[in-house]
Amino acid sequence: MLAEFSVVPIGKGESVSRYVAECLRIVEASGLDYRINPMGTVLEGQYDDVMDVVRRCHMRVMEMSDRVITTVKIDDRAGKKGTLASKIESVEKELGKELKK
């Protein structure tokens, strides 16, 4: 499955890079394949593994803030693996060119 998530502390100012960095430490330690983008992080793996990483990120930011909003978007397709890269490759094939990464 793929899951895109973001964890946002409330009341901590405009910059959230400190909190993103804390979450990426957790993501990298998980060993799951991932990609970051300006609006969140996309993880690929088994449901329980992915959701555990999201939970740990949420809880870590809760340790640093009194209020946190975590959003999660899930794409779960039975029998498919490697979709993190293949979804992009499929669109690039349709366009006939590589996209910015």
Could you tell me the domains of the chain?
A: 2-95 (3.30.70.930)
* Reported confidence tier of residue 28, pLDDT bands at 50, 70, 90: very high
Q: Is 83 exposed, middle or buried (0-12, 13-18, 19+ CB in 10 A)?
A: middle
pTM above 0.75, yes or no: yes
Tens digits of per-residue pLDDT, 44-77? 999 999 999 999 999 999 999 999 999 999 999 8
Number of alpha carbons in the 13 Å side-chain half-sphere of residue 20: 14
